[in-house]
Structure 1
């Protein structure tokens, strides 16, 4: 029983760690996709939660039934034809692009705060990632079992400090804060579509590796609820500090600055760890895909992907990714619809 509970918690940690990333941990993603829509953004986060729970359960069921090994197999199964090929290509492109940007980000973070060469930050990320990735699914589960609880502790500490020092914040105050954009529902659907498509890269091989449907579904549900709680807290912190948070690349750091150097350092460490977690998840997902597509070993796939990402990290795909992010979210939502239709037909 203890082993099953521990396995479920590990699965939930992997689910959270795969989706969170540095964008959510810094507050930037929540700010862009939710906070700007005012108090209705909280409803958007809850809708994302429902989609995460439903879709992760569907993906687990399909993956186990058809013994799928990577997102490539899932996409082409539920979306055969040209759209499936496009979705598969874009998913691979975004995962490799995301891994490249994280390498560049690690270099920038090390350079900015320690004044040393960016290459040290890049190589540090590469070496640690290889060590974890060569442990396959065990490495992914082990590292997220450490990073996710650390993230929860830091975000919850920041939340409690904010409540203690700013007692005048209440529901009526939150509701009175103006919104800067309309279309909160569409933004929520795009955000959930992007995350589910990226998350499938880990959920599919995880399902095949573990093979215990109940544990996988329960872990995904707990992960969805935990992720939602984090998103709600971060959104609350951001929305109660409008408009100041829009001036900063790391909005949560602006809030953390009020509570001393220790909280700032803890938050920066968590952001780096979440960058690392996303790096590992992205390379793992593409590694499993390359293993199936090119019939090469998983370890060779990992080294191949890292060799691809290092030079790309020097080019800088940030503007390109930012431009295509919503488009990929739309494709992700189409994938969600196709996945749901396939599952319903398959179970009838």
Structure 2
């Protein structure tokens, strides 16, 4: 029993760690896709949590039933035609861009706090990620089991400080009074956000589902992870809302939010954000490398080095530029992948003995 509970928490941690990434951990992603729409942004955040549970559970069941090992395997299963190759290639490009964004985020984070050149922060992340990835799946689970609880504790602590020291600004009435930067477009923004996050985490959910071979543990792990992720996003969004419009000018908005509590709190938050970026970098590169191993017969270890080498020059485009440009594009393309998975699931549910 204890082993199953531990497995559920590990799955939840990997799920959260994969999705949080550079964008959410820094606050940049939340500010762009939710905070800019004002207090109504909470509706979009809750909708994301619901869809994470529905779609990711579906992907997990398909993966376990077909003994799949990568998102490429999943693509060829749900769409065994030329179109699947196009979609699979687009997903690979998305994950490469996502891992590049994280490397850029590491550079931006250390630059904003310490003033060191961005390339230094990027290289530090790349080297430590390589070392961890050589441990394969065990390294992925180990880092998320430590980093994710730490992130939740630190964000909750800062959120609690806001509630205690600035309770008036954290009321719903005050948030309603703040004019949104973007009055329209929340629905579309939410759909895009759901799309690229589900595509991102599918690269980890697929091999985990096959390796663990316990549908109930995967199901509960995904549910717990989605709930934790939703609460995390709500807390971050609340703090960003009451710090408008200043947060829109920062590459790392959460560091600005924590500034009022002193350098110590800022430093702790910086460490946690960096660690969370790191966990998602590992997840993304792991997903791509596993896919390259399956699709192109490039060994896992060689693929790791290849992906990092591709990521480094892309990361120099800049953190904010990459998020604002690439995330919406790949979010839209990811909707095709989600529709294909849903269609396959409902068409083959009886054949695969999958219970709805």
The TM-score normalised by the length of structure 2 is: 0.91
In structure 2, what is the Cα distance between the partners aligned to 1:234 and 1:108? 19
**Structure 1 position 179 matched with structure 2 position 174:** no
**Structure 1 position 208 matched with structure 2 position 174:** no
Structure 2 residue aligned with 1:127: 127
In structure 1, what is the Cα distance between the partners aligned to 2:5 and 2:283? 23
Which stretch of structure 1 is more off in the superposition, 233-242 or 55-64?
Answer: 233-242
Structure 2 residue aligned with 1:326: 328
5 Å-filtered alignment, 1:219-298, equals 219-298=221-300
Q: Secondary structure at the match of 2:295?
A: helix
Judging changes above 3 Å, is the alpha-carbon distance between structure 1 residues 315 and 37 closer, same or farther for their aligned structure 2 residues?
A: closer
Structure 2 residue aligned with 1:21: 21
Structure 2 residue aligned with 1:2: 2
| Aligned 8 A contact 1:97 1:317 in 2 | no
| Aligned 8 A contact 1:97 1:321 in 2 | no
| Aligned 8 A contact 2:22 2:105 in 1 | no
**Structure 1 segments unaligned to the other structure (5+ residues):** none
Judging changes above 3 Å, is the alpha-carbon distance between structure 1 residues 241 and 53 closer, same or farther for their aligned structure 2 residues?
A: same
Which stretch of structure 1 is more off in the superposition, 187-196 or 269-278?
Answer: 269-278
In structure 2, what is the Cα distance between the partners aligned to 1:88 and 1:41? 31
In structure 2, what is the Cα distance between the partners aligned to 1:260 and 1:111? 18
5 Å-filtered alignment, 1:95-110, equals 95-110=95-110
Which stretch of structure 1 is more off in the superposition, 303-312 or 235-244?
Answer: 303-312
In structure 2, what is the Cα distance between the partners aligned to 1:143 and 1:164? 32
5 Å-filtered alignment, 1:64-213, equals 64-110=64-110, 113-114=113-114, 120-168=120-168, 169-181=170-182, 182-213=184-215
In structure 2, what is the Cα distance between the partners aligned to 1:27 and 1:112? 14
In structure 2, what is the Cα distance between the partners aligned to 1:237 and 1:157? 12
Judging changes above 3 Å, is the alpha-carbon distance between structure 1 residues 34 and 317 closer, same or farther for their aligned structure 2 residues?
A: closer
Which stretch of structure 1 is more off in the superposition, 325-334 or 227-236?
Answer: 325-334
| Aligned 8 A contact 2:108 2:319 in 1 | no
Shift of 1:133: 0.9
Deviations along 1:4-37, one digit per CA (max 9) or x if unpaired, are 1111101100000000012111111111111111
Q: What CA RMSD, in Å, does the superposition of the two structures yield over aligned residues?
A: 2.0
Structure 2 residue aligned with 1:57: 57
Q: Secondary structure at the match of 1:345?
A: helix
The TM-score normalised by the length of structure 1 is: 0.93
Shift of 1:212: 1.2
Judging changes above 3 Å, is the alpha-carbon distance between structure 1 residues 101 and 25 closer, same or farther for their aligned structure 2 residues?
A: closer
Q: Secondary structure at the match of 1:179?
A: coil
Structure 2 residue aligned with 1:345: 347
Judging changes above 3 Å, is the alpha-carbon distance between structure 1 residues 289 and 268 closer, same or farther for their aligned structure 2 residues?
A: same
In structure 1, what is the Cα distance between the partners aligned to 2:104 and 2:326? 19
| Aligned 8 A contact 1:37 1:179 in 2 | yes
Structure 1 residue aligned with 2:354: none
Judging changes above 3 Å, is the alpha-carbon distance between structure 1 residues 53 and 67 closer, same or farther for their aligned structure 2 residues?
A: same
In structure 2, what is the Cα distance between the partners aligned to 1:11 and 1:66? 20
In structure 2, what is the Cα distance between the partners aligned to 1:84 and 1:155? 39
Shift of 1:206: 1.0
In structure 1, what is the Cα distance between the partners aligned to 2:242 and 2:110? 30
